[in-house]
Amino acid sequence: MSLFESKYNHPYSYDPKFNKRVAYFSMEFAIDQSLKIYSGGLGFLAGSHMRSAFELKQNLIGIGILWKYGYYDQIRQQDQSMNVLFQEKTYSYLEDTGIKFTIDVNGHPVWVTAKYLRPSLFNTVPLFLLTTDLPENDYLARSLSFHLYDADLAAKVAQFILLGVGGAKLLDELGYEADIYHLNEAHGLAASFYLYNKYKDLAEVKKRLVFTTHTPEEAGNEKHDIYLLNKMGYFCGTNFDEIRFISGMHNDIFDYSQVALRFAKIANGVSALHGKVAKSMWSKYEGLCQIISITNSQNYLYWADKDMYDDVKNDKDELLVKRKKYLKARLFETVADQAGDLFNPDVLTLVWARRFASYKRADLITQNRERFERIITNKKYPVQIIWAGKPYPMDYGAVSTFNNLVHLSKVYPNIAVLVGYELKLSKKLKYGADIWLNNPRVPREASGTSGMTACMNGAINFTTQDGWIPEFASTSNSFLIPLADQSKPIHDQDNEDMNNLLDILENQIIPMYYERPSDWVKMMKQSMLDVLPAFESNRMAAEYYEKLYLA
């Protein structure tokens, strides 16, 4: 009996449909508010996947990294603008496996151990989190597992080695003979070189590897200097000329996603639209695997307000509205605490909350200041707006956008910008939003799952037609911003989207909320009903077996 079977096995008999052994590699997992090893959407997706794999009794385990300082704690400077805090995290509930082994990083042995998250704690499949924070290592080696998405290039490559090679080696230590190695993004691709070194046959690697890509433009996929990777031990000692031959990388740049698509037996985009974009984007390269679509989804049991769904099921519209206002009031306690603003549960409330990035256009609604001010100062039909989200700490443009909105919020008492957008605040915002505002520049958003969990809590999507939205949205469940002319320059597309956004807000959303409340409730209920089961993660986790693992 293997170590895995004797100490760490799943607490259930596997459903025969999901009996194939799968190891799911992800740089981040959003499992619980207390376990701060995630930054945003990729982690939220992985967390829901691990929960649904547990609910469906799948033979799947998660492999990640225990980030000592997490991503970062988002705090405020003296003037309320954003600041970054890296604070040590401790987790008494993670179990020490006692497993220790070394991986080679830059010609030096680095000791690795794994912590274990027991399934019963948060209703997930077994999760193993790697760390190099051990007394056997020097400070540099220990620091590999300090910061999620470290800005230093060499540290980032070393982290990729830790996840990929360390994760694959851990499976051998556990005796978990994975039939499938699932890479959630290409961060763990080094596992494929560990497998190649083990089997000396690329066909054996392809038999086991599947890949989920999340990035809908080629420039956004990570690429590094191939000589640096070779020097740091990324290729597990395989001859450099052989690496060039099998990877197809014949210049100085190593494209992780392209190589993942060359090594995998099959890959998937994370929405139907993203699948089409990805196929087109990679079609110019030879020898890549098939790319299909498996649309991202989120876990109902974790995210949804069950009382609201009971009210919808029982046609209790009055109770539904009362429950929604109660949840809004709970959110507004946080607004008052953080921002000093007293929001009103009777007032239409818009929420924009996700990672701050330029293509997501957090401040699009504010760009026509005259129209924006007219909306935000309307006494007859008042509007409240909340922003939240964590930019990458080194994305100074995104940090500047965040700070500009903070300063704008000082002018208007019905605008608030919140810090600490993690699982707990994300839930609160979705419980309390009337409108979930989502206006990325099409087709830059591969999936965008926050709108799914917003739907599960009675928020109506107000959105551009990107990511998962074309598969879900209609005029009966969402407010849709028409597609901008993508042949125009970016600035003109942004202006077109902004004007359409403001037109819909002024002429459709605000009048419906205040003048036709029964129509509003009807749309809210339709949104809640339409999001299930197609955008619930049990469907997604089952599809991964059917379409990827068993392919």
Q: Are 238 and 142 contained in the same domain?
A: yes
Q: What share of the chain is helix, strand, coil (3-state, %, to 5)?
A: 45, 20, 35
The confidence score (pLDDT) of residue 170 equals 98
Q: Which of 129, 146, 136, 154 is nearest to 64 (CA)?
A: 129
Q: Residues 210, 304: one domain?
A: no
| Same domain assignment for residues 262 and 338 | no
- CB crowding 505-528: b at 16 or more within 10 Å, else e: bbeebbebbeeeeeebbebbbbbb
Asked if 264 contacts 211 with a C-beta cutoff of 8 angstroms, the reply is: yes
| Dist CA 90 CA 311 (whole Å) | 40
Q: Do both 79 and 181 map to the same domain?
A: yes
- Answer whether the bond into residue 533 is a cis peptide, omega within 30°: yes
CA distance 295 to 426: 21
pLDDT at 219: 72
pLDDT digit string, tens, across residues 374-405: 999 999 999 999 999 999 999 999 999 999 99
- 526-548 mean pLDDT: 98
- Residue 201 phi, psi (nearest 5): -155, 115
CA dist., res. 168 & res. 205, Å (int): 12
- Give the distance between the most distant pair of CA atoms in the chain: 72
Whats the size of the chain, residue-wise? 551
DSSP symbols for 432-468 = H-SEEEE-PPTT--S--THHHHHHTTTPEEEE-S-TT
**Confidence at residue 355, expressed as pLDDT on a 0 to 100 scale:** 96
pLDDT at 17 over 80: yes
Query: Are 418 and 338 in contact, with CB atoms under 8 Å apart?
Result: yes
DSSP code of 299?
-
| Co-location of 396 and 310 in the same domain | yes
Tally of domains in the chain: 2
pTM: 0.97
Q: Are residues 268 and 355 in the same domain?
A: no
Residues 6 or more apart whose CB falls under 8 angstroms from that of 207 comprise: 265
Question: Both 390 and 403 in a single domain?
Answer: yes
Residues 316 and 178 in one domain: no
What would the two tokens of residue 225 be? 């200097």
Coil, strand or helix at 221: coil
Q: Do 250 and 328 fall within a single domain?
A: no
Residues 335, 283: one domain? no
Residue 103: the pLDDT is 98
Report the distance separating Cα 534 and Cα 546, nearest Å: 15
Q: Amino acid letter at 48?
A: S
For residue 238, which of 165, 289, 184 has the smallest C-alpha distance? 165
Pure H helices in 237-294:
240-247, 256-263, 272-282
Residue 506 has pLDDT above 90, yes or no: yes
CA atoms within 13 A on the CB side of 338: 25
User: pLDDT for 310-346, tens place per residue?
Assistant: 999 999 999 999 999 999 999 999 999 999 999 999 9
Q: In the predicted model, is pLDDT for residue 524 greater than 90?
A: yes
Tally the C-alpha atoms within 13 A of residue 167's C-alpha that lie toward its C-beta: 33
3-state secondary structure 324-390: HHHHHHHHHHHHHHHHCCCCCCCCEEEEEECCCCHHHCCCHHHCCHHHHHHHHCCCCCCEEEEEECC
Cα–Cα nearest to 386, from 357, 406, 370: 406
Tell me if 37 sits within 8 A of 67, measured CB to CB.
Answer: yes
Is 410 within 8 Å of 434 (Cβ atoms)?
Answer: no
Q: What percent of the chain has pLDDT over 70?
A: 100
Are 324 and 455 within one domain?
yes
pLDDT at residue 216 in the model: 85
pLDDT digits (tens, 9 = 90+) for 189-225: 999 999 999 999 999 999 999 999 998 887 778 999 9
Residue carrying the six token digits 């194939």: 20
* CA atoms 149, 153, 154, 158: torsion sign: positive
Asked if residue 462 lies in contact with residue 438, where contact means CB atoms within 8 angstroms, the answer is yes
pLDDT, one tens digit per residue, over 79-92 is 999 999 999 999 99
Give the pLDDT confidence of 38-80 residue by residue, as tens digits: 999 999 999 999 999 999 999 999 999 999 999 999 999 999 9
Closest among 363, 438, 374 to 408, alpha carbons compared: 363
403-414, pLDDT tens digit by residue?
A: 999 999 999 999
- What CATH number corresponds to the domain at position 326? 3.40.50.2000
Domain that holds residue 425: 300-535
Compute CA distances 251 → 110, 223, 227, 261, 290, whole Å: 29, 12, 10, 18, 24
Same domain, 489 and 352: yes
- Cα 501 to chain center, whole Å? 25
Cis peptide before 391 (omega within 30 of 0): no
Q: Burial level of 306, CB count in 10 A (0-12/13-18/19+)?
A: exposed
Q: Which residues pair with 292 in a beta bridge?
A: 268
Per-residue pLDDT reduced to its tens digit, 452-485: 999 999 999 999 999 999 999 999 999 999 999 9
* pLDDT given at position 215: 87
